[in-house]
Amino acid sequence: MATPQLDVYLPDGTQQSYPLTDERVVVGTSSKCQVLIDLPDFAPEHLLFSPRPDGCGLIVARGVATPTLVDGQPFERGLVPWGATISVGQVKLVIHDGKKTRKAAQEGDKKEEKVSPVLLIAAAVIVPFALYQSFQDPANSAPGRVQTPPPALFDDFPQACAQRDPNLVRSTAEESARVALSKAERMPFRTQDGIEAVNYYAGAAACYRAVGDTRAADLALRQANTLKVRLEDEYRAHQFRLERALEQQRTEDALFETRMLTALTSHRRGPYLQALNTLERQLTLRIDQAAAAQR
């Protein structure tokens, strides 16, 4: 898959284009957003784009004042086809898969560039040597299956409240539950917020139990387990899709799944995360080599 692109058409008639190079691209007024649109119709974190080979995932943040339309229809979350137009107030956003842009650029290069005979001779010598070196270098070899076993996403839930002061146990439980809810709502924008939400819910349950509030403790524990199961299911699904993509040599799909697994396991430092980082470099190199061969 070529690099997807987001074209933003502002009310003053100007246009801005952004490459969608990350697995999660946030649009809003916050300086932390990858795409900053400082207009009243937008919330600090308004939209989340997640490029995929078959389209672009789009999530609208909860509680935003300005409705979001996709090709004129109200929209909240789902997969959006390439070429769709997203409207937020007077701002239009169009997503492209990048193929048309790359093809046009390549055709322009062919028309404008004249290849020197010297370069052709050099290429005849250098390219075979480079290919030979790439096959000799294990880091540049064809990506294979991740051999390192994946770690568990979560540790065992705490049985005791982390707060030692008895006078602060209930307030700690309530604050942990509040933070957990906030992070759970932000999970589509940042995977690690979902991981943290599970731990905050579990911590809230332990503290509610310490003050004898069994009902609140059971509720927090159910919320922790529900979110935990959801994330673990996603974890296994991404592992399976990565293995299939590697087996079928679908390099771009494999790169996407590798990045999703990296986002899920970034809190687990160790061999698995290192293996994912190595695989991402191999896949990126392979895609770059394929793109260079088409030029």
Beta bridge partners of 28: 36
Structure tokens, 291: 């793109």
pLDDT, mean over the chain: 83
CB atoms within 10 A of CB 183: 21
**Averaged pLDDT, 74-101:** 88
pLDDT over 90 for what percent of the chain? 44
Please check whether residue 204 is in contact with residue 183, taking contact to mean a CB–CB distance below 8 angstroms: no
How far apart (Å, rounded) are the C-alpha atoms in residues 169 and 99? 56
Rg, the chain, Cα only: 24
C-alpha distances in Å from residue 233, one per residue of 61, 150, 229? 23, 14, 6
Give residue 250's identity as a one-letter amino acid code: R
pLDDT of amino acid 104: 44
Per-residue confidence band for 53, with pLDDT thresholds at 50, 70 and 90: confident
Q: Are 3 and 98 in contact (CB under 8 A)?
A: yes
- Walk across the sheet containing 73-74 and list its strands: 15-19, 5-9, 91-96, 85-88, 68-70, 73-74
Determine the length of the chain: 295
- Please give the single-letter amino acid code of residue 16: Q
Q: How far is CA 50 from CA 26, 87, 271, in A?
A: 9, 17, 27
- Cα separation, 290 vs 250, whole angstroms: 12
DSSP category for residue 54: T
Residues of the chain with pLDDT > 70, as a percent, come to: 84
206-255 pLDDT tens trace: 999 999 999 999 999 999 999 999 999 999 999 999 999 898 888 888 88
> Looking at 129-143, 151-165, 200-214, 248-262, which range is the least confident one?
129-143
State pTM to two decimals: 0.63
**Which of 52-56, 141-145, 175-179 is the most confident on average?**
175-179
Q: Quick one: residue 89, left, alpha or beta (phi over 0 = left, psi -120 to 50 = alpha)?
A: left
**What are the Cα distances from residue 67, in Å, to 40, 70, 146, 187?**
13, 10, 42, 21
Backbone dihedral region for residue 63 (phi beyond 0: left; psi -120 to 50: alpha; all else: beta): left
pLDDT top residue among 189 and 39 = 39
Q: What are phi and psi of 74, to 5 degrees?
A: -55, 145
Q: How far apart (Å, rounded) are the C-alpha atoms in residues 42 and 205?
A: 36
> Under a CB-based contact definition with an 8 Å cutoff, are residues 211 and 170 in contact?
yes
Buried-state track 163-175, b at ≥16 Cβ within 10 A, e below 16: beeeeebbebbeb
In this prediction, residues 149-153 reach a mean pLDDT of 93
pLDDT over threshold 50, residue 132: no
Hey, is 121 helix, strand or coil?
A: helix
More confident residue, 63 or 119: 63
